[in-house]
A and B are shown apart, each in its own frame.
Chain A
């Protein structure tokens, strides 16, 4: 790692807000568990984005107040949600037909690692002591028209998450199109990672030092 640089990494809500800024009106979007779920809070109310939850809710609205929870209305993360005007319910087979059939403009998932070829690992650390659990991650990663990953740029102990090749079990091959980290926005292009944006004070050298694969600047 390089010398200390004068850059303040984004916190989780700021990362979510950065993702939200790139979602245009009219898109159908599925948000994964964790930071991705926060993205909906940062889309302005007058921008109509249709949020899907894979347990069969299309048109997820703002989070309910604590005293106004509907016990019959949860999202895939089992959190209480609301349904906005225009929303609808669907059963699981139709909900995943929506995902797999290319009807999602975007899915935003958290990740452990993203490789330079767009491979994503986000469901298992490969440790054997616990029962594995995949949920809908593989369906979303394989099915959405665009997959964006949002994650800290490095692990807590400083290991790169933007890697040449994933070390954790894969969720999908070549699926990720863009990565939002607490330090930068990076596209996954045919020739590798392309840095679109960095936080104030960050340099390409410092970002490269925190990445396992080669970073390019836009042509």
Chain B
């Protein structure tokens, strides 16, 4: 019997090593795998490369992982927002490497990795500081910049509903980066709000088929916290 459920976040992260590239889903506070992110601290990992649209706020979650010195490099599109004090401090002191990538280019680099493609040409960023030093090529009179696939050793994602095969659905804007990250890592770990029996999910409604998911942990934490700033 295939059963991808594990009982704890510690078990979910078993085997994750220092130096790993970790994809972290979520956009704002929505669809963010908070329990798995907190577990990164407890797993005593170092030299991580983190791929995440935002770079954490306040002093918990990803900000805590960074404050503890576990992240050597972060690849993101929007690190600067109200409350992103930890990243700002590490960046100012030169204690973290920061690779700024346009949001759609992050998404497509992940998608390329998920689909077995090495690289692709995109019109995004041509002629800007973010394309400096990158190969460009003209197609049909328009210039494109070469961007490379971005593969994760590990993906941490949040789903709304899962079955024991790891089939996943998401909730509203909580979908965001989660499906594409699920497909772009060697080891994909999902925390899920709800759980159903195999066969209960409508096959037409499954967004991430379980073949892309390795472990699932049930974390019914409820709604994203409205009390916290949504940045």
Chain A residues within CB distance 8 Å of chain B: 53-57, 69-76, 78-80, 83, 89-93, 95-97, 99-100, 124, 129-139, 142-143, 169-173
Contacts and interface: CB of A to CB of B under 8 A. Distances in A.
Given A93-B179, A134-B77, A142-B126, 9 more contacts: A55-B28, A78-B29, A91-B175, A96-B107, A100-B122, A124-B129, A138-B124, A169-B129, A170-B129
Interface centre among A56, A92, A133 (most CB of B within 10 A): A92
Contacts of B177: 91-92
12 contacts: A73-B172, A83-B172, A91-B170, A91-B207, A92-B176, A93-B180, A131-B87, A131-B88, A131-B98, A134-B100, A134-B102, A139-B102
Contacts of A53: 173
A143 B125 CA distance: 10
Contacts, number: 155
A74 B80 contact: no
B103 interface: yes
A137 B81 CA distance: 15
Nearest to B102: A138
B130 A138 contact: yes
A45 B166 CA distance: 41
A130 B230 CA distance: 20
Interface residues of B, number: 53
B2 interface: no
Leading 9 A-B pairs by shortest Cβ distance: A96-B104, A139-B104, A133-B80, A72-B172, A136-B103, A173-B127, A93-B111, A138-B102, A91-B179
Q: Which secondary structure dominates where chain A touches chain B? A: loop
Given A78-B231, A91-B207, A143-B104, A138 B125 contact: yes
A128 to B, nearest CB: 10
Contact of B108 (A80, A83, A96, A124): A96
A56 B102 contact: no
A139 B78 CA distance: 13
A24 B230 CA distance: 32
Contacts of B101: 134
B176 A100 contact: no
Most chain A beta carbons < 10 A, residue from B78, B107, B231: B107
Contacts of A76: 27
Contacts of B225: 71
